[in-house]
Amino acid sequence: MEYHDTSEVLITTDQIEQMVEDVAAQINADYMPYQELIVIGILTGAYIFTADLTRHLNMAVNVDFMQVSSYVGTESTGVLKIRKELTVDVAGKDVLVVEDIIDTGRTMALLKDLLYERGAKSVKLCAAFDKPDRRVNDLKADYVGLVIPDEFVVGYGLDLDGQYRNFRDVRIVR
């Protein structure tokens, strides 16, 4: 296992807790109480945020997970690779995608298109963290926890080669 300097805390555990409550309040205001909402957590990074966020929502939440990534092939928009498929049918449903961090924006743009192709009634995007400086398209998440600078960060679900997801705060990798 490689050693990385992760001593610099960017976001504390308290700030994360406040962020989750703020995002949940915005989402609760936008949907009807007890309205059916399909929440799709994006594995693996969003597993913690999905668990924390959904426990603050007051809709009739149906949680599912999908594992996707994007790669840049011949098209600059990228290609979506599905590693784990959904189990629910999103046709006619209101969908909220929960992501750990938005970087280039390719993954979320492609996934949003796919969910609309599958007949979702509405698709909204929620990310715990956003690095807008890195964006290659015009993607904007509907709900963003915290905007962060262009640094590689780990913790609260975010990894470097599978490590550090279990940190309770978010740290910069040097």
- Give residues in contact with ligand IMP (CB under 6 A): 45, 70, 99-107, 152-154, 158-159
Active-site residue, 103 included? yes
Q: What is the dihedral of CA 74, 151, 48, 119, to 10 degrees?
A: -30
Q: Which is nearer to ligand IMP, 28 or 159 (CB)?
A: 159
Residue 157 burial (CB count, 10 A) = 27
Q: Residue 106 binds what, of Mg ion, ligand IMP, none (CB under 5 to 8 Å, by partner type)?
A: ligand IMP
Task: Check residue 144 and report its DSSP letter.
Answer: E
Strand-pairing partners, residue 172, are 8, 153
Q: Residue 70 binds what, of Mg ion, ligand IMP, none (CB under 5 to 8 Å, by partner type)?
A: ligand IMP
Strand-pairing partners, residue 90, are none
Place of tokens 């962060």: 148
Q: Which is nearer to Mg ion, 93 or 131 (CB)?
A: 131
Q: Residue 170 binds what, of ligand IMP, Mg ion, none (CB under 5 to 8 Å, by partner type)?
A: none
- Applying CB under 5 A, among 41, 42, 45, 105 the residue interacting with Mg ion is 45
Choose the binding region for Mg ion from 44-52, 83-91, 126-134, 142-150 (rule: CB under 5 A): 44-52
- Long-range contacts of 116-119, Cβ-Cβ distance < 8 Å, separation of 24 or more: 118/89, 118/90, 118/91, 119/90, 119/91, 119/92
Q: Which is nearer to ligand IMP, 37 or 125 (CB)?
A: 125
Q: How far apart are CA 70 and CA 112, in angstroms?
A: 13
Marked catalytic residue, from 52, 94, 103, 130: 103
Q: How far apart are CA 77 and CA 45, in angstroms?
A: 22
Q: Residue 93 binds what, of Mg ion, ligand IMP, none (CB under 5 to 8 Å, by partner type)?
A: none
Query: From the CB of 159, what's the least distance to ligand IMP, in Å?
Result: 6
Query: From the CB of 159, what's the least distance to Mg ion, in Å?
Result: 6
C-alpha angle 38-118-62 in degrees, rounded to nearest 5: 10
By CB under 5 A, name the binding residues for Mg ion.
45
Give the residue numbers marked as catalytic. Answer: 103
